[in-house]
Amino acid sequence: MGDKISEMTEAVKKKLGEIKTLQELQELKVKYLGKKGEVTSMLKGLGGMAPEERPLFRSKG
């Protein structure tokens, strides 16, 4: 999961550099931080992780 976070971080940085309007920024925010966004989905996945894996995820993120 740590690799996915790194990939997502790089994708967001790249897209931030390409944004030209406030609308595009809002769309990016919703895509990653919205109710059905990618970060939200990842956080929901924490519940399915084994308890001993959770500290490892936290230290990578």
Q: What is the DSSP string of the chain?
A: -HHHHHHHHHHHHHHHHH--SHHHHHHHHHHHHSTTSHHHHHHHHGGGS-TTTHHHHHHH-
pLDDT at position 58 is 60
pLDDT at position 49 is 79
Q: pTM above the 0.75 mark? A: no
Residue 42: domain span: 2-60
pLDDT at position 61 is 45
Pairwise CA distance, residues 22 & 6, whole Å: 25
pLDDT in tens, 4-61: 888 999 999 999 999 999 999 999 999 999 999 998 888 888 778 788 877 766 655 4
Higher per-residue pLDDT: 31 or 3: 31
List the Cα angle 38/41/42 in 5-degree steps.
90
Count of the separate structural domains present in the chain: 1
